[in-house]
Amino acid sequence: MQHYFVSDVLSVGKVVSLPDNVSHHLSRVLRAQVGDSFELVDQNQQVFQAAISQINGRVVTATITSALDRNVELPVETTIVSGLSKANKPELIVQKATELGVNRVIFLPMNRSIVKWDQKAAKKLTRLNEVALSAAEQSHRNQVPKVDYLSGLAALNQLSFDTKIVAYEESAKIGEEANLVKAVRATKPGQSIVAVFGPEGGIDEGEVNLLVNNGYRLAGLGPRIMRTETAPLYFLSAVSVLTELLS
Amino acid sequence: MQHYFVSDVLSVGKVVSLPDNVSHHLSRVLRAQVGDSFELVDQNQQVFQAAISQINGRVVTATITSALDRNVELPVETTIVSGLSKANKPELIVQKATELGVNRVIFLPMNRSIVKWDQKAAKKLTRLNEVALSAAEQSHRNQVPKVDYLSGLAALNQLSFDTKIVAYEESAKIGEEANLVKAVRATKPGQSIVAVFGPEGGIDEGEVNLLVNNGYRLAGLGPRIMRTETAPLYFLSAVSVLTELLS
């Protein structure tokens, strides 16, 4: 069933005019008819079933038919921070991370980032937030993850999180392999966790030290070397396994 | 450090002529020089350090300098089976699954597959096995995963595995959420596990029944709906978390 997000507060029986993008998708892309059902998530992350009551040119009106008791969000508020990477990697990260339950994705330049966003950042963010919306619709999330851009690690260090880790390839060599599990388990439901991932060339030692001095702990993600876009997906899957499957 | 696979059995002190693709990559792509070091994995999955001893036109000769005690393979032999999916999804699955430790990837047509491989299968497999090789080099694996094509689920049911699961979206509704963890934990080191994933439209009920009648158990992969190419990555991460991080 189709799944859309609206900024209203909904309740059963309410009649709503759907936003342009939702109206367009239902009436033009899907050629939906009066009476067809779909899901709407309101600003309180509550999922409702709705049915089309009227199609008037470009404006689709729907009636809320029932409230659905469904929450597919990770129990912990999960942020990934990704050093700027090339080509379509940021899109892949946002799409897959959304499917895997991320709450916020932050991109920032790191020392080994080859690309720069600078003036392009606003346009990139618009596109990446569209990717997040579309993936959140497809994976039937209760919320749309937010995609942000920060100027660097100094700006990141202004943000507070309950648990902070940095994914570091060398962790296995220095006995920090078990830290991922420890970190996730130390994060109580409703608390926040953040994990930082380097760009293609990896995070450099100075950056690791800066983060460690700001309360980040090194964590390994198993013994294999993963690409910059794969490591966050492993992390998010691990958060799910540890908090949803093993809880 | 560069990492390549050879079909020889290596030992310290041995001098080897490198295969064409490795010679080409070292001498032409990287413009490596005599004395430069890299890693070679032999047919027994043993990793060695090697140094270039001679570059003679297209032929690069190397001397094995030391044996490295390194094994990054998952403790359980892990196969994923994926219903044929569109566009570049099979490539993405093979690349990311290799980074995440898969041993074998099997593609097969399912009822809801929109694409067909038929006559194209041989060419597709050649390409996908190249993707696996390249990803195995990059993630410093001890082995290159094998990519295969089967005619359908009947052919799959001829293969034996110690643990067999089918990823099924509806599992959460029927109380099969914990089966993924149970299945992985029931698989002893050295034993094999296989997980089947549907194509874009999902696996249909008849296919699920066919698999269940052949010893497959339904397993959920958390509460969110994942795309056909994302679900196997979640599964492989889960195998790693459960067998490598929590072991």
DSSP collapsed to 3 states, chain A? CCEEECCCCCCCCCEEECCHHHHHHHHHHCCCCCCCEEEEECCCCCEEEEEEEEEECCEEEEEEEEEECCCCCCCCEEEEEEECCCCCHHHHHHHHHHHCCCCEEEEECCCCCCCCCHHHHHHHHHHHHHHHHHHHHHCCCCCCCEEEECCCHHHHCCCCCCEEEEECHHHHHHCCCCHHHHHHHHCCCCCEEEEEECCCCCCCHHHHHHHHHCCCEEECCCCCCCCCCCHHHHHHHHHHHHHHHCC
Based on the fold, state whether residues B45 and B86 are members of the same structural domain: no
Per the listing, tokens 């964590």 go with: A219
Q: What is the least distance, in Å, from the CA of B154 to any CA of chain A?
A: 30
CATH number at residue B16: 2.40.240.20
* pLDDT value of position A247: 73
* pLDDT value of position A175: 63
Across chain B, what does the average pLDDT equal? Answer: 94
Based on the fold, state whether residues A40 and A107 are members of the same structural domain: no
> Does A122 contact chain B (CB < 8 Å)?
no
Across the interface, whether the CB atoms of B181 and A241 are under 8 A apart is answered: yes
CA-wise closest residue to A150 among A176, A113, A177: A113
Is the pLDDT confidence value at A167 over 90? Answer: yes
> Does B230 contact chain A (CB < 8 Å)?
yes
Rounded mean pLDDT, B94-117:
96
Based on the fold, state whether residues B20 and B92 are members of the same structural domain: no
> Does A238 contact chain B (CB < 8 Å)?
yes
Based on the fold, state whether residues A60 and A150 are members of the same structural domain: no
* pLDDT value of position A169: 76
pLDDT band at B169 (very low <50, low <70, confident <90, very high): confident
Based on the fold, state whether residues A55 and A88 are members of the same structural domain: no
* pLDDT value of position A58: 85
pLDDT band at B173 (very low <50, low <70, confident <90, very high): low
Of B138, B225, B240, the CB nearest to A222: B240
Is the pLDDT confidence value at A84 over 80? Answer: yes
Tens-digit pLDDT profile for residues A185-242:
999 999 999 999 999 989 999 999 999 999 999 999 999 999 999 999 999 999 999 9
* pLDDT value of position A172: 60
Based on the fold, state whether residues B58 and B126 are members of the same structural domain: no
CA distance B130 to B175: 40
Of B141, B222, B223, the CB nearest to A224: B141
Q: What are the structure tokens assigned to A192, written together?
A: 């926040």
Based on the fold, state whether residues A142 and A51 are members of the same structural domain: no
Tens-digit pLDDT profile for residues A120-147:
999 999 999 999 999 999 999 999 999 9
Q: Given A28, A50, A68, which residue is the final one in a domain? A: A68
Regarding predicted confidence, which is higher, A56 or B105? B105
The kind and range of the H/E element at B195 are: strand B192-197
Across chain A, what does the average pLDDT equal? Answer: 94
Based on the fold, state whether residues B50 and B100 are members of the same structural domain: no
Rounded mean pLDDT, B132-140:
96
pLDDT band at A243 (very low <50, low <70, confident <90, very high): very high
Best of A39, A74, A234, A236 to substitute, by most chain B Cβ atoms within 10 angstroms, is: A234
Rounded mean pLDDT, A62-69:
96
Q: Given B12, B41, B68, which residue is the final one in a domain? A: B68
Q: Where in B21-179 does DSSP place strands (E)?
A: 37-41, 47-56, 59-68, 77-83, 104-108, 146-149, 163-167
Based on the fold, state whether residues A123 and A227 are members of the same structural domain: yes
Size of interface A-B (CB pairs under 8 A): 94
Based on the fold, state whether residues B88 and B187 are members of the same structural domain: yes
Strands A77-83, A104-108: pairing kind: parallel
Rounded mean pLDDT, B14-19:
95
Rounded mean pLDDT, A17-42:
94
Q: Given A68, A95, A114, which residue is the final one in a domain? A: A68
> Does B247 contact chain A (CB < 8 Å)?
no
Based on the fold, state whether residues A46 and A103 are members of the same structural domain: no
CATH number at residue B126: 3.40.1280.10
* pLDDT value of position A170: 74
Q: Please, which residues 160-219 of chain B have a Cβ atom closer than 8 Å to chain A?
A: 177-178, 180-181
Q: How many distinct structural domains can be found in chain A?
A: 2
Is the pLDDT confidence value at B97 over 70? Answer: yes
Contact B177, B171 (CB under 8 A): yes
Is the pLDDT confidence value at A180 over 80? Answer: yes
Based on the fold, state whether residues B137 and B208 are members of the same structural domain: yes
Rounded mean pLDDT, B17-30:
93
Rounded mean pLDDT, B138-142:
95
Regarding predicted confidence, which is higher, B223 or B169? B223
Rounded mean pLDDT, B205-222:
95
Structural domain boundaries, residue B237: 77-245
Rounded mean pLDDT, A25-47:
95
pLDDT band at B174 (very low <50, low <70, confident <90, very high): low
Is the pLDDT confidence value at A171 over 80? Answer: no
Across the interface, whether the CB atoms of A96 and B234 are under 8 A apart is answered: no
pLDDT band at B172 (very low <50, low <70, confident <90, very high): low
* pLDDT value of position B37: 96
> Does B225 contact chain A (CB < 8 Å)?
yes
Rounded mean pLDDT, B48-71:
94
